[in-house]
């Protein structure tokens, strides 16, 4: 009897209404929280094949955490094939390389945004597997913040593999204190210089907490990336106000720049007119962040004028 009742409910849910009707009904489920919305859609997708097909079209973003369900993770990806954003920053369910390798090609064919933050290593093997299965893979946003052991070969791989990137976040490798100065060498510098040569479409970049970015690499970034608008280079000890001034003179279209915790100190007497002129040349500037830096009212007045 219970089985018959269940089958009856499924027929009621899946039969009698066209896909257009169900799409209209599902579209009226106003759930602001993305995770709650995805959970609701996942539940609907289990009712019938019709709702599975319909609900999958409404899910374009997934954030995986440890043991997200009792089912194999690959089944989740098979269920939702229209993903444009995948967040693995909180995933603790096993080998992230293995996870990426198990994602069906159809599930990443539309993927444009990927968050791989907060992991021990950069999952180069898993990403290479995705690229091999999807030659037309076009990632436009890659977030790799707080990667404990970010190698120069990882940076080179990013530059060579994702030419369509518009947003790149490589902030705080090695944790909040940044990568150790003992590992900074020519290989890292070469890898950083390769980024602006290969990633011409970059519009936003976050390199905060990096010991391996300096005045020269920041200059190359501003020269080569003509679409660059937003730059975050907080807590980068090898970038000076003179280096910033020279770089932003080459990219006057910047609208947001953050150099918080500036080590030199931004007392007016230490900042020449070239630096101030460079800042005032940014006519589209909407955000200027000097948090935790030594800056005087006189300098702010000079910039405002």
Burial track 227-262 (b if 16+ CB lie within 10 A, e otherwise): ebbbbbbbbbbbbbbebbbbbbebbeebbbbbbeeb
Query: Does pLDDT of 150 surpass 60?
Result: yes
Identify the band that residue 275 occupies on the pLDDT scale cut at 50, 70 and 90: confident
What pairing do the DSSP bridges indicate for beta strands 256-258 and 230-232?
parallel
For residue 234, give the 3-state DSSP assignment.
coil
Tell me which residue of 260, 259, 304 sits closest to 282, measured CA to CA.
Answer: 304
Is the pLDDT confidence value at 168 over 90? yes
Residue 61 in 3-state DSSP? strand
Distance CA 15, CA 124 (A): 45
End-to-end CA gap in the chain: 80
Q: Which helix (H) or strand (E) holds 48?
A: none
Fold of domain 140-305: 3.80.10
Query: What is the predicted pLDDT for the residue at 84?
Result: 92
pLDDT at residue 88 is higher than 90: yes
pTM of the model: 0.81
Structure tokens at 214: 């300096």
Q: Dig out the tokens for 178 from the structure.
A: 């940044």
Q: How confident is the model at residue 261 (pLDDT cuts 50, 70, 90)?
A: low
Of the given ranges (13-17, 131-135, 172-176, 199-203), which has the lowest mean pLDDT? 13-17
| 29 pLDDT tier (thresholds 50, 70, 90) | low
Whats the size of the chain, residue-wise? 305
Q: Using pLDDT thresholds of 50, 70 and 90, give the confidence band for residue 184.
A: low
Contact call for residues 232 and 207 (beta carbons, < 8 A)? yes
Distance from C-alpha of 162 to C-alpha of 39, rounded to nearest angstrom: 31
Q: Which residues contact 236 (CB under 8 A, 6 or more apart)?
A: 207, 208, 209, 210, 211, 213, 259
Write out the two tokens for 210. 């990096």
Mapped onto helix, strand or coil, the DSSP state of residue 156 is helix
The pLDDT mean for the chain works out to 80
What average pLDDT does this structure show over 264-277?
Answer: 62
For the chain, domain boundaries: 1-58, 60-125, 140-305
Tokens representing 158? 């990013």
């Amino acid at each position: 009897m219970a089985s018959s009742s269940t089958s009856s409910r499924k027929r009621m849910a899946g039969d009698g209404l066209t896909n257009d009707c169900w799409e209209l009904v599902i579209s009226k489920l106003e759930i602001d929280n993305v995770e709650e919305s995805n959970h609701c859609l996942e539940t609907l997708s289990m009712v019938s094949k019709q709702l599975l097909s319909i609900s999958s079209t409404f899910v374009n973003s997934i954030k995986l955490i440890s043991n997200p369900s009792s089912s194999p993770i690959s089944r989740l990806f098979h269920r939702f094939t229209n993903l444009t954003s995948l967040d693995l920053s909180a995933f603790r369910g096993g080998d992230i390389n293995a996870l990426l390798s198990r994602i069906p090609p159809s599930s990443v064919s539309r993927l444009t945004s990927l968050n791989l933050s907060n992991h021990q290593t950069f999952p180069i093997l898993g990403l290479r597997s995705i690229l091999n299965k999807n030659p037309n893979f076009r990632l436009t946003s890659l977030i790799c913040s707080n990667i404990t052991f970010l190698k120069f070969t990882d940076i080179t791989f990013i530059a060579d593999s994702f030419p369509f990137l518009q947003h790149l976040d490589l902030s705080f490798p090695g944790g909040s204190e940044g990568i150790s100065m003992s590992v900074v060498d020519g290989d890292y510098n070469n890898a950083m210089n390769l980024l602006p040569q290969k990633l011409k479409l970059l519009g936003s970049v976050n390199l905060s907490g990096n010991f391996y970015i300096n005045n020269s690499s920041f200059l190359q970034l501003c020269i080569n990336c003509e679409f660059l608008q937003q730059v975050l280079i907080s807590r980068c000890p090898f970038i000076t106000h003179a280096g910033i001034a020279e770089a932003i003179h080459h990219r006057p279209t910047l609208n947001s720049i953050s150099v918080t915790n500036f080590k030199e100190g931004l007392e007016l007497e230490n900042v020449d007119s070239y630096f101030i002129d460079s800042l005032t040349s940014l006519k589209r500037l909407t955000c200027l962040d000097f948090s935790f830096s030594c800056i005087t009212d006189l300098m702010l007045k000079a910039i405002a004028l």
